[in-house]
């Protein structure tokens, strides 16, 4: 199979105006990936599936990632002249910038026909709040169906063009997305019919004091010998 940078170059040559960036993985697996811009992702996915040299006909896995906003400190060395005429001194100058947050969908592709892979592709949303739409790749790889539903459920990415986009693990009325890094567990788990352990401690905050006292003070039935 072609190297990932060769695939990237072919995609850039074929799809005018598309953005395809190589994202390196510094881990031991060195499983690098291609970051696609959402506007061209569906066309590129079809090409990856149908190209005779690639035939990436199977998506084995699709998952989500949450990238919250973060502050990045950049350091650079600057030369400062000595007012007394001595040699210049090298000092470090630090600047801060805020990197906006986003949500990401990652797909692992294989060719069952040619027995190669994976090729990893990814897409990112514009932000984590009101611009969380990405094109669904389920029309390209049917195996993405439930996996994109899971990403929608747990991360909140809205997949445009998905044939049946609804929650998969949580119920329809559930609020928020449990895999977001800023998600906070509720203190009252309404789905827990018999609270216990740590859940019980939180549930006690919602018990009314008078009702609790009334139960404890209720007369007990007389037991006759």
pLDDT of residue 79: 81
Q: Which residues contact 11 (CB under 8 A, 6 or more apart)?
A: 18, 20, 34, 44, 47
How far is it between the farthest Cα atoms of the chain?
107
More confident residue, 159 or 210: 159
| DSSP SS3 for 194 | coil
pLDDT of residue 81: 78
Residue 56 lies in a domain: yes
pLDDT at 107 over 90: yes
Judge contact between 108 and 120, C-beta under 8 A.
yes
pTM for the model = 0.79
Percent composition of the chain: helix, strand, coil (DSSP 3-state, to 5): 25, 30, 45
- Segment 42-59 mean pLDDT: 98
Give me 41's structure tokens.
Answer: 């992702």
Q: Which residues contact 120 (CB under 8 A, 6 or more apart)?
A: 31, 32, 33, 34, 106, 107, 108, 109
Per cent of the chain over pLDDT 70 is 87
Give 117-156 pLDDT, tens digit per residue. 999 999 999 999 999 999 999 999 999 999 999 999 999 9
Q: Tell me which residue has tokens 């061209």.
A: 40
pLDDT at 211 over 60: no
DSSP sequence for 61-83: EEEEEEE--EEEEEEEEEEE--T
Here the CATH number for the domain that contains residue 145 is 3.30.460.80
Residue 208 lies in a domain: no
Residue 182 lies in a domain: no
pLDDT of residue 212: 43
Residue 71 lies in a domain: no
Residues in a beta bridge with 158: 133
Residue 214 lies in a domain: no
Residue 146: domain span:
4-66+103-166
Residue 138 lies in a domain: yes
Residue 189 lies in a domain: no
Residue 184 lies in a domain: no
Number of domains in the chain: 1
Give 67-100 pLDDT, tens digit per residue. 999 888 888 888 877 777 778 788 888 888 888 9
pLDDT at 176 over 70: yes
């Amino acid at each position: 199979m072609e190297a990932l940078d060769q695939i990237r170059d072919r995609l850039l040559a074929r799809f005018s105006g598309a953005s395809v960036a190589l994202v390196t993985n510094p881990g031991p697996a060195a499983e690098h990936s291609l970051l696609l811009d959402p506007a061209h992702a569906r066309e590129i996915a079809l090409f990856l599936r149908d190209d005779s040299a690639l035939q990436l006909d199977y998506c084995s896995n699709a998952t989500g990632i949450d990238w919250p906003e973060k502050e990045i400190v950049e350091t650079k060395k600057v030369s400062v002249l000595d007012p007394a005429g001595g040699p210049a001194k090298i000092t470090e100058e630090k600047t801060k910038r805020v990197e906006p947050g986003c949500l990401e969908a990652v797909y692992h592709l294989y060719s069952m026909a040619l027995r190669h892979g994976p090729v990893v592709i990814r897409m990112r949303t514009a932000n984590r709040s009101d611009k969380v739409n990405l094109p669904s790749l389920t029309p390209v790889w049917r195996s993405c169906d439930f996996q994109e539903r899971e990403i929608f459920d747990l991360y909140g990415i809205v997949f445009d063009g998905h044939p049946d986009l609804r929650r998969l693990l949580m119920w329809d009325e559930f609020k928020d997305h449990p895999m977001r890094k800023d998600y906070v567990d509720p203190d009252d788990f309404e789905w827990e019919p018999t609270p216990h352990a740590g859940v019980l401690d939180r549930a006690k905050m919602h018990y009314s004091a008078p009702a609790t006292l009334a139960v404890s003070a209720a007369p007990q039935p007389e037991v006759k010998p």
